[in-house]
Structure 1
């Protein structure tokens, strides 16, 4: 019989690309991962990996087994959720990933609601960039997380994860005076670090307006970016949740762009009582001016 834990390693290899990356993500040594995958190949009776020097890729049989693994893990998650519903009371930790502006504006209300309705539940918040969420969910570092997508940066699908819409918020141009993105083709820009969805959204919005932004500052905090913009250090794009308290001297102009936030979790866990409780609290905490 195929070992589920070894199947997880194969699934992670298909996503992360290297044995070293799998080992780092799951707190194994590379040699231990290699040994477990070799054992899985013996259990399967066919070659699952193709090795060329230091490079390892999945064979067609390996890719096919990963697809089955997703179904197996989803069924196991559903079984665990059903067992959790049978147990009396809702207690213990539930690990939640959140991007910073949601952690600051939504989760105070969420934690208050959960403390009142499920006092034995122990929500644990970890700040995560949405780009890191799929890996964190698959690795079991978090049980659920908030992710978002922008008009110019749609979310990518992951066969092992599910998500549901939470709310949509507008984006604003933060600058000394009212204006549009196109008005600032010659301005300096304050953007998020490379590799983030926020950065990609800004770059693609500027490209749609016919130019590439001239980056002056790379700041991974909207509050700091707005302070710099108020000082004349550049202009920046800010979502609604991060723009609730702009600094003096800064003008926010709503743009025809939006950011959509979703609740993501591992496939099969939507019915878990802890996931359902946090989801309910999140929906109740969303401000009424957001849809």
Structure 2
């Protein structure tokens, strides 16, 4: 019988592209990953990878196995969810990942309600950027996570995850109260407060400004919207802020844009029926 952990590494390799990337994601050494994949080849009796120096590519057999392995992993997840559903109710650890604004606004009432209705649940929240959440779900560091994407920067469809929509909100241009910007185009010559490179907020801002023919001039970098709004209120620049964070604005004028941000509740494929996951989804969506 094929080892599930080795199959998971093969799926990681197909997704990430290199053994070094798999090793980094799994906190293994590249040598350990290579040994596990070689052991998987011995188990199948087939060459799964072609090695040229430090590079590896999938053989036809490797691609077939990786495709079926993803189905197997999802089926195992669904099986675990079905077995968990036979218990008396949601219980045990539920690891939730969410971005800071959601941790402050969306999660507290949900945590209170879940704790009251399902006292056997052990709720654990971790702040995580939506860009990092899919990997945390796949690697089983999280059970549920809130993911976001913008209409100007749509998120990739991850075949290992399922999700349900939670929120669709307006994105605002935040300017100092005394500022005279009325459109995104007016902010062309303003200093900007941008999120860190690699985050969705950063990419969405670059694309929104590019649509108006310019690249924003960065003065400050901040990832937490409360910090962003404090800097805007202090006259340090302008920024894009989603509606969920707009209530924190003081000394700031918010200009509604045509941009939208969407938030989804995501979990591993096959986990929708897990009682703990289902309870959190129902609480957050009001279902």
Which TM bucket (shorter chain)?
over 0.9
Instruction: Supply the distance in 2 between the matched residues of 1:167 and 1:225 (Cα, whole angstroms).
Output: 21
* Residue matched to 2:39: 39
Q: Which moved more, 1:17-26 or 1:145-154?
A: 17-26
Instruction: Supply the distance in 2 between the matched residues of 1:101 and 1:52 (Cα, whole angstroms).
Output: 46
* Residue matched to 1:274: 276
Alignment of 1:221 onto 2:224: yes
Instruction: Supply the distance in 2 between the matched residues of 1:59 and 1:190 (Cα, whole angstroms).
Output: 47
* Residue matched to 1:130: 130
Paired residues, number: 284
* Residue matched to 1:243: 246
1:1-291 correspondence to structure 2 within 5 Å: 1-176=1-176, 177=179, 178-248=181-251, 250-284=252-286
1:43 Cα offset (Å): 1.5
Instruction: Supply the distance in 1 between the matched residues of 2:66 and 2:226 (Cα, whole angstroms).
Output: 42
Instruction: Supply the distance in 2 between the matched residues of 1:214 and 1:56 (Cα, whole angstroms).
Output: 41
1:168 Cα offset (Å): 0.5
Instruction: Supply the distance in 2 between the matched residues of 1:60 and 1:132 (Cα, whole angstroms).
Output: 30
1:259 Cα offset (Å): 0.4
Instruction: Supply the distance in 2 between the matched residues of 1:68 and 1:98 (Cα, whole angstroms).
Output: 31
Residue 90 of structure 2 contacts residue 279 of structure 2 at CA under 8 Å; is this kept in 1? no
Instruction: Supply the distance in 2 between the matched residues of 1:61 and 1:159 (Cα, whole angstroms).
Output: 20
Residue 89 of structure 2 contacts residue 275 of structure 2 at CA under 8 Å; is this kept in 1? no
Gapped runs of 5+ residues in structure 2? none
Give 3-state SS (helix, strand or coil) of 1:204's partner.
Answer: helix
* Residue matched to 1:288: none
Residue 232 of structure 2 contacts residue 238 of structure 2 at CA under 8 Å; is this kept in 1? yes
Residue 48 of structure 2 contacts residue 60 of structure 2 at CA under 8 Å; is this kept in 1? yes
Instruction: Supply the distance in 2 between the matched residues of 1:46 and 1:217 (Cα, whole angstroms).
Output: 53
Instruction: Supply the distance in 1 between the matched residues of 2:194 and 2:285 (Cα, whole angstroms).
Output: 30
* Residue matched to 1:289: none
Instruction: Supply the distance in 2 between the matched residues of 1:183 and 1:11 (Cα, whole angstroms).
Output: 47
Instruction: Supply the distance in 2 between the matched residues of 1:72 and 1:60 (Cα, whole angstroms).
Output: 18
Instruction: Supply the distance in 2 between the matched residues of 1:26 and 1:200 (Cα, whole angstroms).
Output: 26
Q: Which moved more, 1:1-10 or 1:12-21?
A: 12-21
1:199 Cα offset (Å): 0.5
Q: What is the TM-score of this pair, normalised by structure 1? A: 0.94
1:238 Cα offset (Å): 0.3
Residue 229 of structure 2 contacts residue 248 of structure 2 at CA under 8 Å; is this kept in 1? no
For each residue in 1:85-132, what CA deviation from the matched residue of structure 2 results, as whole angstroms up to 9, or x when unmatched? 111232210111101110110111011010111011011111111111
For each residue in 1:187-210, what CA deviation from the matched residue of structure 2 results, as whole angstroms up to 9, or x when unmatched? 111110111110010010001112
For each residue in 1:179-238, what CA deviation from the matched residue of structure 2 results, as whole angstroms up to 9, or x when unmatched? 111001111111101111100100100011121111111211111111111222211000
